[in-house]
Chains A and B, each alone.
Chain A
Amino acid sequence: MSRVAVVIDGLLVQAEPDWTVLEAARSAGVEIPTLCHHERTGTEGICRLCMVEVAGRMEPACATRVRPGMVVNTRGAAVEQLRRTVLELVALETNVEYDDELSGWMEEYGADPTRWGEPLAGRRQRKPLADNPFFVREYDKCYNCRRCLDACGEGIQGVWALAFTGRGAEAGVTTTFDLELAEAGCIFCGNCVEVCPTGALVPLEELRAAKGGPS
């Protein structure tokens, strides 16, 4: 298949026809921030942090295929303001202290969550769930990127032990029938832990190591 010529931030990029804008940008060394997208899980289009300007419209870079002649601007004023607002709301509502990548973008985009007042979503009040010998689920740190759900379900493992519950700002991750993980069919493959970007799924070994030995 012949390549597709697109322009990203003024750079001419020869993209493979099945690439997304995000892939094309990365191939040219242009970084676009994203919280939800993951190549292995197939998660896309949720966080909206990767929105870029295409012919005056905003499109999610991770979920938009390249089109011939596309002109993409990844750093316009509107894009940057959108990213700042999303980062601020995520950081206000979620405990993001273990998410180094997000913290870096917060600084880059000048995000200040305190402008929005007190949190509203109730996420930060969630208690850790320790229902298995391998990892703890600390959903105060979870911003619903859904990588774990996709890893557990159709993205990788096909196990479907994890489920999404609730609506709007109250939505979050649970297990099938809210059971303990093992009861819900979890095979402890570890894929969810591996793809979690926030530190919400913490391997117990690491916790023990951090505390200086077995506890």
Chain B
Amino acid sequence: MNHKPLLLPLLDEALKRGPLEPADVAAAARATGLPAAAAWEAVRFYPRYAATGERWLLVDEPVVRSRNFDSLLNALERVALAAGVESGTVYSYGLEALGPALVVEQGAERRVYAPVDEASLERLAAGAEPGPAAGLLPRELAGGGWLLEDPPPPPQFPGAGELIASARAAGLRGLGGAHFPVWRKLEAVRAQDAAEKYVVVNGDESEPGNFKDRWLMEHNPRLVWTGAALAARAVGASEIVFYVRGEYEGALERVEAARRELAASGYLDGLETSTFRGGGLYICGEESALLESIEGKRAEPRLKPPYPAEAGLFGKPTLVNNVETLAHLALVASHGADAYRERRPKLFSISGDVAKPGVYELALGTTLEEALAAAGAGRARAVLLGGAAGTFLKLPDAAGLPLDFEAPRAQGDSIGPGALMVFDETRDLWAVAEGVSAFFAHESCGKCFPCSLGTPHLHRLVWNWRRGQRRPELLHELAQALEQGSLCGLGQAAPWAVRSLLERFVEVNR
């Protein structure tokens, strides 16, 4: 390890002994070489260091917002008040496919249940288990496919030139949402003349509506580590940090277990590897904010340039790739670029009004209609494509849209990480938009002015709109300011869902 101990793991250790005291924070700061002020900033930024006592939390995500969010929250508040327990909400746990979810928090420990209904809340109040535990996604949530089956034996490293050429020939792109060509990132980090380089696996899937990375980390983590190891050898990195979303505790265990197994087999020889528990906020998924949080700072996006390929973790050249991307890289190495191109596999997280919500491996270019049919959609009226940072598509208008990198983008949409949240004609899309705008206001890090000040106003404008008080001119101005002024993708994407609703669903806006 070429760096000092990391702050968040030290704080987590201290947290096991009880609520954090300034002395714990000061000791952790000394061990990491950070100023105490920076450690204090981290403690005040990441939610788990503030958790005390018991709280009952309803998981707030777009699908439940379209259904019975208000009545569930009312019921939760009622039973919690009677029980003298604090209640509230917490944002998406990647459980949209299972149904409404509940988190019971006791200090730093959390138990997750899904699906839950009002009867579950009565059980909770009576001291019983409120519903099925949902610490892991059921394996059966995913159908068949290359990424969803047991992985092939880890392939031999073919050499940097060949691996990068294969990634290029395969047309592999970043699958965390931005779709940047993988070979170019690999090449950029490889070209850096530096003694130390890092590979960071971005497993901070926090975008509401997405759970395919969660499934991969829980049920196929070896494939992801394999891709990470290949990438590390290709770019000349000696250390891999696998950053797992803080709330995904089951995934953390599975990822760590897979690391140990693969290390024991010798496949990770010559590489330092570790599993890192993420900060537990949406912004941690932004690649430069993610690096800041590994360094023990507030997870705030950096100004770019420089990009992580030049100056990433601890200022060293760093390859940051999403979980699914690296799983694909391993498959490209195993099956070859030609076989990969023939399949063009992509994972989609499909939830909402479909008979079989879950993780689907579909060929890129599958039409929206075909994807919906695969999951058993009945009479879908709208699809929120990509996630909370996505756009509403209208059906049947968009039925023939190919779900690939290009066609949605040509009309101002994107498959993003691959979420399809499906809503039939009975659902209130403005309720979904209200939830999405609340999410962004809650997740804004507080760095740049347009996002930190604008997202709460976006939420209020949407809230008012849904209740008949409409200010289209302000909504448009704010959407512009967020999109053009915000420092990172969080603020830039915050108004997309609302704006697509205004543009495409004229009838519900009357």
Interface string of A180-207 (1 = CB under 8 A from B): 0000100000000000000000000000
- B180: chain A residues within 8 A (beta carbon): none
Does the CB pair A45–B303 fall under 8 Å?
Answer: yes
- B489 in the interface, Cβ–Cβ < 8 Å? no
- B480: chain A residues within 8 A (beta carbon): 78, 81-82, 85
- B231 in the interface, Cβ–Cβ < 8 Å? no
- B446 in the interface, Cβ–Cβ < 8 Å? yes
A81 to nearest B CB, angstroms? 6
Q: Which residues of B contact A (CB under 8 A)?
A: 22, 25-26, 35-38, 40-41, 44-45, 281, 298, 303, 441-450, 452-457, 460, 474, 477-478, 480-481, 484-487
- Known contacts A117-B460, A163-B40: A169-B485 contact under CB 8 Å: no
Q: Residue of B at shortest CB range from A122?
A: B456
Does the CB pair A143–B443 fall under 8 Å?
Answer: no
**Sample of 20 more A-B contacts, CB < 8 Å, known A49-B449, A117-B460:** A48-B449, A51-B484, A58-B484, A78-B480, A81-B477, A82-B481, A85-B450, A89-B457, A90-B449, A120-B456, A144-B452, A160-B36, A160-B37, A160-B38, A163-B37, A163-B40, A164-B298, A165-B40, A168-B455, A171-B446
Q: Residue of B at shortest CB range from A35?
A: B449
Does the CB pair B298–A177 fall under 8 Å?
Answer: no
- B35: chain A residues within 8 A (beta carbon): 153, 160, 176
B322 to nearest A CB, angstroms? 24
Does the CB pair B453–A89 fall under 8 Å?
Answer: yes
Interface string of A72-84 (1 = CB under 8 A from B): 0000001001100
Instruction: Tell which of B22, B26, B446, B454 touches A170, judged by Cβ atoms closer than 8 Å.
Output: B446
7 closest A-B pairs by beta carbon, nearest first, are A171-B446, A160-B35, A168-B444, A85-B481, A160-B37, A89-B453, A165-B44
Q: What is the CA–CA distance of A48 and B454 in the complex, to the nearest angstrom?
A: 12
Does the CB pair A58–B485 fall under 8 Å?
Answer: yes
B159 to nearest A CB, angstroms? 36
- B41: chain A residues within 8 A (beta carbon): 163-165
Q: What is the CA–CA distance of A181 and B270 in the complex, to the nearest angstrom?
A: 48
Chain A, range 93-128, C-beta contacts under 8 Å to B: 93, 115-117, 120-121
Q: Residue of A at shortest CB range from B440?
A: A168
- A211 in the interface, Cβ–Cβ < 8 Å? no
Interface string of A155-180 (1 = CB under 8 A from B): 00000111111111111001111100
Q: What is the CA–CA distance of A105 and B485 in the complex, to the nearest angstrom?
A: 17
- A66 in the interface, Cβ–Cβ < 8 Å? no
- Known contacts A45-B303, A78-B480, A167-B445: A161-B37 contact under CB 8 Å: yes
- A168: chain B residues within 8 A (beta carbon): 441-446, 452, 455-456
Q: Residue of B at shortest CB range from A94?
A: B453
- A45: chain B residues within 8 A (beta carbon): 303, 448, 487
- A89: chain B residues within 8 A (beta carbon): 449-450, 453-454, 457
- A93: chain B residues within 8 A (beta carbon): 453
Interface residues contributed by chain A, number (CB under 8 Å): 45
Q: What is the CA–CA distance of A45 and B304 in the complex, to the nearest angstrom?
A: 10
Chain A, range 22-63, C-beta contacts under 8 Å to B: 35, 44-49, 51, 58, 60, 63
- B40: chain A residues within 8 A (beta carbon): 163, 165, 174, 176-178
Does the CB pair A78–B484 fall under 8 Å?
Answer: yes
A175 to nearest B CB, angstroms? 8
- A86 in the interface, Cβ–Cβ < 8 Å? yes
Mostly, the A contact residues are mixed
Q: What is the CA–CA distance of A164 and B38 in the complex, to the nearest angstrom?
A: 8
Q: Which one of A46, A143, A163, A178 has the highest number of Cβ atoms from chain B below 10 Å of its Cβ?
A: A163
Instruction: Tell which of A35, A58, A86, A162 touches B37, judged by Cβ atoms closer than 8 Å.
Output: A162
B329 to nearest A CB, angstroms? 30
A52 to nearest B CB, angstroms? 11
Q: What is the CA–CA distance of A176 and B29 in the complex, to the nearest angstrom?
A: 12
Instruction: Tell which of B25, B474, B484 touches A177, judged by Cβ atoms closer than 8 Å.
Output: B25
Does the CB pair B481–A120 fall under 8 Å?
Answer: no
Q: Residue of B at shortest CB range from A79?
A: B484
Q: What is the CA–CA distance of A143 and B455 in the complex, to the nearest angstrom?
A: 16
A166 to nearest B CB, angstroms? 6
- B442: chain A residues within 8 A (beta carbon): 168
Q: What is the CA–CA distance of A165 and B298 in the complex, to the nearest angstrom?
A: 9
Q: What is the CA–CA distance of A165 and B46 in the complex, to the nearest angstrom?
A: 10
Q: What is the CA–CA distance of A51 and B303 in the complex, to the nearest angstrom?
A: 13
Q: What is the CA–CA distance of A49 and B481 in the complex, to the nearest angstrom?
A: 10
Q: What is the CA–CA distance of A177 and B44 in the complex, to the nearest angstrom?
A: 10
Q: What is the CA–CA distance of A115 and B481 in the complex, to the nearest angstrom?
A: 15
Does the CB pair A169–B474 fall under 8 Å?
Answer: no
- Sample (30) of A-B pairs whose CB atoms are under 8 Å apart: A46-B448, A46-B487, A48-B448, A48-B450, A51-B485, A81-B481, A82-B481, A85-B480, A85-B485, A86-B453, A89-B449, A89-B453, A116-B457, A144-B446, A163-B40, A165-B41, A165-B44, A167-B444, A167-B445, A168-B441, A168-B442, A168-B444, A168-B452, A168-B456, A169-B452, A169-B453, A169-B455, A169-B456, A171-B446, A178-B40
- B445: chain A residues within 8 A (beta carbon): 167-168, 171
Q: What is the CA–CA distance of A181 and B397 in the complex, to the nearest angstrom?
A: 61
Does the CB pair A121–B453 fall under 8 Å?
Answer: yes
Does the CB pair A48–B485 fall under 8 Å?
Answer: yes
Q: What is the CA–CA distance of A160 and B22 in the complex, to the nearest angstrom?
A: 15
